[in-house]
Structure 1
Amino acid sequence: MKRSRTGALALLLPAVLAPAACGVRPSGVVEVGDPAIVQTVPDAAHGGVAVYLKGPDGVLPVIRATEENAVPGAALMRLLDGPTDADRAAGLTSEVPNYYGGLAIGVDGDTVRVTLTRPVRDFSSVARQQLACTAAHATADSGAVTVVLKGNDTTLTLERCPF
Protein backbone atom coordinates (compact mmCIF):
# COMPACT_ATOMS: atom_id res chain seq x y z
CA MET A 1 0.00 0.00 0.00
CA LYS A 2 2.90 2.29 0.69
CA ARG A 3 4.13 1.82 -2.87
CA SER A 4 0.79 2.75 -4.42
CA ARG A 5 0.62 5.98 -2.44
CA THR A 6 4.17 6.85 -3.41
CA GLY A 7 3.41 6.00 -7.03
CA ALA A 8 0.24 8.09 -7.03
CA LEU A 9 2.15 10.98 -5.47
CA ALA A 10 4.87 10.65 -8.09
CA LEU A 11 2.26 10.84 -10.88
CA LEU A 12 0.41 13.73 -9.24
CA LEU A 13 3.49 15.89 -8.63
CA PRO A 14 4.24 16.63 -12.33
CA ALA A 15 0.57 17.43 -12.96
CA VAL A 16 0.62 20.01 -10.14
CA LEU A 17 3.96 21.54 -11.13
CA ALA A 18 3.33 21.69 -14.90
CA PRO A 19 1.15 24.84 -14.85
CA ALA A 20 3.70 26.61 -12.67
CA ALA A 21 6.47 25.88 -15.16
CA CYS A 22 4.74 27.20 -18.28
CA GLY A 23 7.27 30.00 -18.74
CA VAL A 24 5.13 32.90 -17.53
CA ARG A 25 7.08 34.96 -15.05
CA PRO A 26 5.35 36.90 -12.30
CA SER A 27 5.36 40.68 -12.62
CA GLY A 28 4.61 43.65 -10.43
CA VAL A 29 1.69 46.03 -10.74
CA VAL A 30 1.49 47.71 -14.13
CA GLU A 31 -0.05 51.21 -13.95
CA VAL A 32 -2.08 52.37 -16.94
CA GLY A 33 -3.65 55.83 -17.25
CA ASP A 34 -4.72 58.38 -14.68
CA PRO A 35 -6.61 57.49 -11.52
CA ALA A 36 -10.39 57.46 -11.74
CA ILE A 37 -12.20 60.68 -10.88
CA VAL A 38 -15.54 60.49 -9.13
CA GLN A 39 -17.81 63.49 -8.88
CA THR A 40 -19.18 63.93 -5.41
CA VAL A 41 -22.35 65.85 -4.71
CA PRO A 42 -23.30 67.39 -1.38
CA ASP A 43 -26.28 65.85 0.34
CA ALA A 44 -28.78 68.68 -0.09
CA ALA A 45 -31.37 66.90 2.06
CA HIS A 46 -29.02 67.00 5.06
CA GLY A 47 -27.22 70.23 4.20
CA GLY A 48 -23.75 70.43 2.83
CA VAL A 49 -21.52 72.14 0.30
CA ALA A 50 -18.49 71.06 -1.70
CA VAL A 51 -15.35 73.05 -0.94
CA TYR A 52 -12.40 72.50 -3.27
CA LEU A 53 -9.03 72.13 -1.55
CA LYS A 54 -5.56 71.51 -2.93
CA GLY A 55 -4.48 67.87 -2.78
CA PRO A 56 -1.33 66.17 -4.03
CA ASP A 57 -2.70 65.90 -7.59
CA GLY A 58 -4.71 69.14 -7.88
CA VAL A 59 -7.94 70.37 -6.38
CA LEU A 60 -10.57 68.01 -5.05
CA PRO A 61 -13.93 68.39 -3.34
CA VAL A 62 -14.39 68.11 0.40
CA ILE A 63 -17.94 68.11 1.75
CA ARG A 64 -18.67 70.60 4.51
CA ALA A 65 -21.78 70.30 6.62
CA THR A 66 -23.91 73.42 6.69
CA GLU A 67 -27.41 74.31 7.76
CA GLU A 68 -27.81 76.45 4.68
CA ASN A 69 -28.73 75.27 1.20
CA ALA A 70 -25.89 74.58 -1.20
CA VAL A 71 -25.52 78.12 -2.54
CA PRO A 72 -22.33 79.86 -3.68
CA GLY A 73 -22.24 82.14 -0.61
CA ALA A 74 -22.34 79.27 1.88
CA ALA A 75 -19.76 77.30 -0.07
CA LEU A 76 -17.35 80.23 -0.47
CA MET A 77 -17.59 81.12 3.22
CA ARG A 78 -16.52 77.53 4.06
CA LEU A 79 -13.67 77.81 1.54
CA LEU A 80 -12.49 81.08 3.08
CA ASP A 81 -12.50 79.38 6.52
CA GLY A 82 -9.59 77.31 5.16
CA PRO A 83 -8.76 73.65 5.72
CA THR A 84 -9.70 71.97 8.98
CA ASP A 85 -7.24 70.04 11.14
CA ALA A 86 -8.59 66.82 9.60
CA ASP A 87 -8.02 68.24 6.09
CA ARG A 88 -4.43 69.16 6.96
CA ALA A 89 -3.85 65.70 8.44
CA ALA A 90 -5.02 64.25 5.12
CA GLY A 91 -2.53 66.45 3.25
CA LEU A 92 -5.06 68.99 1.97
CA THR A 93 -4.26 72.71 1.87
CA SER A 94 -5.64 75.88 0.36
CA GLU A 95 -3.96 78.52 -1.76
CA VAL A 96 -6.86 80.94 -1.30
CA PRO A 97 -5.35 83.73 0.82
CA ASN A 98 -6.75 84.21 4.31
CA TYR A 99 -9.52 86.75 4.03
CA TYR A 100 -11.93 88.19 6.56
CA GLY A 101 -13.26 91.20 4.63
CA GLY A 102 -16.38 91.89 2.62
CA LEU A 103 -17.77 89.25 0.29
CA ALA A 104 -20.58 89.73 -2.23
CA ILE A 105 -21.96 87.02 -4.46
CA GLY A 106 -24.39 87.41 -7.30
CA VAL A 107 -25.82 84.77 -9.62
CA ASP A 108 -27.05 85.96 -13.00
CA GLY A 109 -28.07 83.11 -15.31
CA ASP A 110 -24.98 80.98 -15.86
CA THR A 111 -22.57 83.51 -14.28
CA VAL A 112 -21.55 83.65 -10.63
CA ARG A 113 -19.93 86.96 -9.62
CA VAL A 114 -17.72 86.94 -6.54
CA THR A 115 -16.59 90.33 -5.21
CA LEU A 116 -13.91 90.69 -2.53
CA THR A 117 -12.70 93.95 -0.99
CA ARG A 118 -9.05 93.07 -1.57
CA PRO A 119 -6.69 92.66 -4.51
CA VAL A 120 -7.25 89.43 -6.46
CA ARG A 121 -4.57 89.68 -9.14
CA ASP A 122 -2.10 87.86 -6.85
CA PHE A 123 -4.31 84.77 -6.52
CA SER A 124 -2.46 81.71 -7.83
CA SER A 125 -3.94 79.52 -10.55
CA VAL A 126 -4.75 76.89 -7.91
CA ALA A 127 -6.54 79.49 -5.74
CA ARG A 128 -8.53 80.61 -8.77
CA GLN A 129 -9.47 77.01 -9.55
CA GLN A 130 -10.51 76.44 -5.92
CA LEU A 131 -12.79 79.50 -6.09
CA ALA A 132 -14.19 78.60 -9.51
CA CYS A 133 -15.02 75.00 -8.60
CA THR A 134 -16.41 75.85 -5.15
CA ALA A 135 -18.69 78.60 -6.54
CA ALA A 136 -19.69 76.65 -9.64
CA HIS A 137 -20.64 73.44 -7.82
CA ALA A 138 -22.83 75.32 -5.37
CA THR A 139 -25.22 76.28 -8.16
CA ALA A 140 -28.11 74.35 -9.65
CA ASP A 141 -26.12 73.76 -12.86
CA SER A 142 -23.45 72.00 -10.76
CA GLY A 143 -20.33 73.28 -12.44
CA ALA A 144 -21.62 74.44 -15.83
CA VAL A 145 -21.26 78.14 -15.03
CA THR A 146 -18.76 80.96 -15.48
CA VAL A 147 -17.24 82.47 -12.34
CA VAL A 148 -16.12 86.10 -12.32
CA LEU A 149 -13.83 87.21 -9.49
CA LYS A 150 -13.71 90.95 -8.79
CA GLY A 151 -11.34 92.61 -6.39
CA ASN A 152 -10.40 96.20 -5.71
CA ASP A 153 -7.59 95.93 -8.29
CA THR A 154 -9.06 93.96 -11.23
CA THR A 155 -11.80 91.65 -12.49
CA LEU A 156 -10.90 88.11 -13.54
CA THR A 157 -13.02 85.66 -15.47
CA LEU A 158 -11.97 82.32 -14.03
CA GLU A 159 -11.54 79.21 -16.10
CA ARG A 160 -14.48 76.83 -15.88
CA CYS A 161 -14.14 74.10 -13.32
CA PRO A 162 -12.81 70.99 -15.10
CA PHE A 163 -14.94 68.66 -12.98
Structure 2
Amino acid sequence: MIRRAAAALVLVALAATACGVQPSGAISGGEAPSGPPSTMPGTPGVSSIYLVADGTVVQVQRPGLVQTGAALIDALVQGPTSAEKASGLTTEVPQSALPAAVAVSASEITVRLATDVQALSALAVSQIVCTLHLRDAPDGSVFTLVGGGNVRSGERCG
Protein backbone atom coordinates (compact mmCIF):
# COMPACT_ATOMS: atom_id res chain seq x y z
CA MET A 1 0.00 0.00 0.00
CA ILE A 2 2.82 2.42 0.85
CA ARG A 3 4.56 1.44 -2.35
CA ARG A 4 1.40 2.22 -4.39
CA ALA A 5 0.99 5.62 -2.70
CA ALA A 6 4.65 6.46 -3.32
CA ALA A 7 4.34 5.49 -7.00
CA ALA A 8 1.22 7.62 -7.37
CA LEU A 9 3.01 10.57 -5.75
CA VAL A 10 5.96 10.20 -8.15
CA LEU A 11 3.58 10.10 -11.15
CA VAL A 12 1.80 13.23 -9.99
CA ALA A 13 5.13 15.03 -9.48
CA LEU A 14 6.34 13.99 -12.94
CA ALA A 15 3.10 15.07 -14.60
CA ALA A 16 3.25 18.46 -12.92
CA THR A 17 6.81 19.17 -14.07
CA ALA A 18 7.01 17.29 -17.38
CA CYS A 19 5.17 19.78 -19.55
CA GLY A 20 8.01 22.29 -19.31
CA VAL A 21 5.73 25.33 -19.21
CA GLN A 22 7.14 27.95 -16.91
CA PRO A 23 4.94 30.53 -15.17
CA SER A 24 4.92 33.93 -16.87
CA GLY A 25 3.27 37.33 -16.63
CA ALA A 26 0.41 38.51 -18.78
CA ILE A 27 0.89 37.98 -22.50
CA SER A 28 -0.20 40.78 -24.83
CA GLY A 29 -2.70 39.96 -27.56
CA GLY A 30 -1.09 42.48 -29.89
CA GLU A 31 -2.91 44.96 -32.12
CA ALA A 32 -6.57 44.73 -33.05
CA PRO A 33 -7.05 43.33 -36.54
CA SER A 34 -7.81 45.65 -39.39
CA GLY A 35 -10.34 44.96 -42.12
CA PRO A 36 -13.60 43.11 -41.69
CA PRO A 37 -14.29 41.83 -38.20
CA SER A 38 -14.17 38.09 -37.64
CA THR A 39 -17.32 37.92 -35.53
CA MET A 40 -20.70 36.92 -36.83
CA PRO A 41 -23.15 39.67 -37.86
CA GLY A 42 -25.36 40.70 -34.96
CA THR A 43 -22.75 40.00 -32.28
CA PRO A 44 -20.54 42.53 -30.51
CA GLY A 45 -16.94 42.71 -31.64
CA VAL A 46 -14.27 45.14 -32.77
CA SER A 47 -15.35 47.16 -35.80
CA SER A 48 -13.81 49.88 -37.84
CA ILE A 49 -15.86 52.97 -38.40
CA TYR A 50 -14.93 56.18 -40.14
CA LEU A 51 -15.03 59.52 -38.33
CA VAL A 52 -13.93 62.97 -39.52
CA ALA A 53 -10.60 64.61 -38.70
CA ASP A 54 -9.39 67.82 -40.34
CA GLY A 55 -11.83 67.57 -43.24
CA THR A 56 -11.17 63.93 -44.14
CA VAL A 57 -12.49 60.56 -43.00
CA VAL A 58 -10.24 58.41 -40.82
CA GLN A 59 -10.60 54.82 -39.68
CA VAL A 60 -11.21 54.25 -35.96
CA GLN A 61 -11.34 50.91 -34.15
CA ARG A 62 -14.40 50.48 -31.94
CA PRO A 63 -14.77 47.53 -29.58
CA GLY A 64 -18.21 46.29 -28.55
CA LEU A 65 -20.19 47.28 -31.64
CA VAL A 66 -22.90 44.98 -32.92
CA GLN A 67 -21.82 43.75 -36.34
CA THR A 68 -24.74 44.94 -38.49
CA GLY A 69 -24.88 47.75 -41.02
CA ALA A 70 -27.65 49.54 -39.11
CA ALA A 71 -25.69 49.38 -35.83
CA LEU A 72 -22.58 50.75 -37.53
CA ILE A 73 -24.55 53.68 -38.96
CA ASP A 74 -25.96 54.27 -35.49
CA ALA A 75 -22.37 54.45 -34.19
CA LEU A 76 -21.59 57.07 -36.85
CA VAL A 77 -24.62 59.12 -35.77
CA GLN A 78 -23.61 58.87 -32.10
CA GLY A 79 -20.24 60.27 -33.09
CA PRO A 80 -16.90 60.07 -31.36
CA THR A 81 -16.33 58.91 -27.81
CA SER A 82 -15.00 61.50 -25.37
CA ALA A 83 -11.44 60.24 -25.98
CA GLU A 84 -11.96 60.48 -29.75
CA LYS A 85 -13.40 64.00 -29.36
CA ALA A 86 -10.31 64.98 -27.39
CA SER A 87 -8.28 63.82 -30.42
CA GLY A 88 -10.28 66.15 -32.66
CA LEU A 89 -12.61 63.59 -34.25
CA THR A 90 -16.20 64.47 -35.22
CA THR A 91 -19.05 63.04 -37.26
CA GLU A 92 -21.03 64.49 -40.17
CA VAL A 93 -23.77 61.82 -40.11
CA PRO A 94 -26.86 63.53 -38.66
CA GLN A 95 -29.21 62.11 -36.04
CA SER A 96 -31.99 62.42 -38.63
CA ALA A 97 -30.36 59.57 -40.62
CA LEU A 98 -31.84 57.05 -38.19
CA PRO A 99 -33.37 54.58 -38.45
CA ALA A 100 -31.18 53.04 -41.13
CA ALA A 101 -31.32 49.74 -42.99
CA VAL A 102 -28.66 48.08 -45.14
CA ALA A 103 -29.27 45.51 -47.90
CA VAL A 104 -26.36 43.67 -49.52
CA SER A 105 -26.43 42.04 -52.96
CA ALA A 106 -23.65 40.59 -55.11
CA SER A 107 -22.42 43.96 -56.39
CA GLU A 108 -24.50 46.65 -54.67
CA ILE A 109 -25.06 47.82 -51.12
CA THR A 110 -28.31 49.74 -50.62
CA VAL A 111 -28.48 52.01 -47.56
CA ARG A 112 -31.92 53.33 -46.59
CA LEU A 113 -31.83 56.37 -44.33
CA ALA A 114 -34.59 58.36 -42.66
CA THR A 115 -33.18 61.62 -44.00
CA ASP A 116 -32.85 63.22 -47.43
CA VAL A 117 -29.67 61.68 -48.81
CA GLN A 118 -29.13 64.68 -51.11
CA ALA A 119 -28.76 66.86 -48.01
CA LEU A 120 -25.90 64.76 -46.63
CA SER A 121 -22.43 66.28 -46.80
CA ALA A 122 -19.77 64.55 -48.87
CA LEU A 123 -18.00 63.65 -45.62
CA ALA A 124 -21.17 62.03 -44.20
CA VAL A 125 -21.55 59.95 -47.36
CA SER A 126 -17.87 58.93 -47.14
CA GLN A 127 -18.27 57.97 -43.48
CA ILE A 128 -21.23 55.71 -44.28
CA VAL A 129 -19.81 54.17 -47.44
CA CYS A 130 -16.31 53.54 -46.07
CA THR A 131 -17.63 52.09 -42.79
CA LEU A 132 -19.99 49.70 -44.58
CA HIS A 133 -17.39 48.89 -47.23
CA LEU A 134 -15.17 47.35 -44.58
CA ARG A 135 -18.02 45.31 -43.15
CA ASP A 136 -20.28 44.15 -45.96
CA ALA A 137 -19.07 45.08 -49.42
CA PRO A 138 -17.40 42.71 -51.83
CA ASP A 139 -14.58 44.39 -53.78
CA GLY A 140 -15.94 46.60 -56.56
CA SER A 141 -19.30 47.07 -54.86
CA VAL A 142 -21.30 50.20 -55.59
CA PHE A 143 -23.32 51.93 -52.88
CA THR A 144 -26.79 53.39 -53.32
CA LEU A 145 -28.12 55.66 -50.59
CA VAL A 146 -31.89 56.12 -50.47
CA GLY A 147 -33.86 58.53 -48.27
CA GLY A 148 -36.11 61.56 -48.25
CA GLY A 149 -37.46 60.68 -51.69
CA ASN A 150 -33.97 60.92 -53.23
CA VAL A 151 -31.30 58.48 -54.38
CA ARG A 152 -27.52 58.79 -54.48
CA SER A 153 -26.06 55.95 -56.51
CA GLY A 154 -22.58 55.00 -57.61
CA GLU A 155 -21.00 55.97 -54.29
CA ARG A 156 -17.67 54.33 -53.45
CA CYS A 157 -15.23 54.52 -50.58
CA GLY A 158 -12.25 56.71 -51.32
**TM-score of the two chains, using structure 2 as the length reference:** 0.66
CA contact (8 A) 1:136 1:144 kept: no
What RMSD over aligned residues (CA atoms) do the two structures have, in Å?
A: 2.4
Alignment coverage as a number of residue pairs: 122
Provide the residue aligned with 1:44 in structure 2. 38
Cα distance, 1:97–1:47 mapped onto 2, change above 3 Å: same
Gaps of 5+ in 1: 1-38
Cα distance, 1:119–1:94 mapped onto 2, change above 3 Å: same
Provide the residue aligned with 2:81 in structure 1. 84
More helix by share: 2
CA deviations over 1:94-152 (Å, ceiling 9, x no partner) = 111123732221111121111112212111111111111011111263x6421111002
Residue correspondence of structure 1 range 104-123 to structure 2 within 5 A: 104-123=101-120
Cα distance, 1:42–1:84 mapped onto 2, change above 3 Å: farther
Cα distance in 1 for residues equivalent to 2:121 and 2:137: 27
Provide the residue aligned with 2:71 in structure 1. 74
Provide the residue aligned with 2:63 in structure 1. 65
Shift of 1:67: 5.6
CA contact (8 A) 1:145 1:160 kept: yes
Cα distance in 2 for residues equivalent to 1:74 and 1:60: 19
* 2:156 is aligned with 1:157: no
Cα distance, 1:88–1:67 mapped onto 2, change above 3 Å: closer
CA contact (8 A) 1:147 1:157 kept: yes
Cα distance in 2 for residues equivalent to 1:114 and 1:40: 23
Shift of 1:153: 2.6
SS in 1 for 2:64: coil
CA deviations over 1:33-74 (Å, ceiling 9, x no partner) = xxxxxx9325525822111011126111111113634x4233
Indicate which of 131, 134, 140 corresponds to 1:134: 131
Return the index of the structure with the highest Cα Rg.
1
Cα distance in 2 for residues equivalent to 1:153 and 1:147: 17
Cα distance, 1:92–1:119 mapped onto 2, change above 3 Å: same
1:61 partner letter: Q
Cα distance in 1 for residues equivalent to 2:149 and 2:110: 15
More strand by share: 2
Gaps of 5+ in 2: 1-32
CA contact (8 A) 1:52 1:130 kept: yes
**TM-score of the two chains, using structure 1 as the length reference:** 0.65
Residue correspondence of structure 1 range 12-23 to structure 2 within 5 A: none
Cα distance in 1 for residues equivalent to 2:91 and 2:35: 20
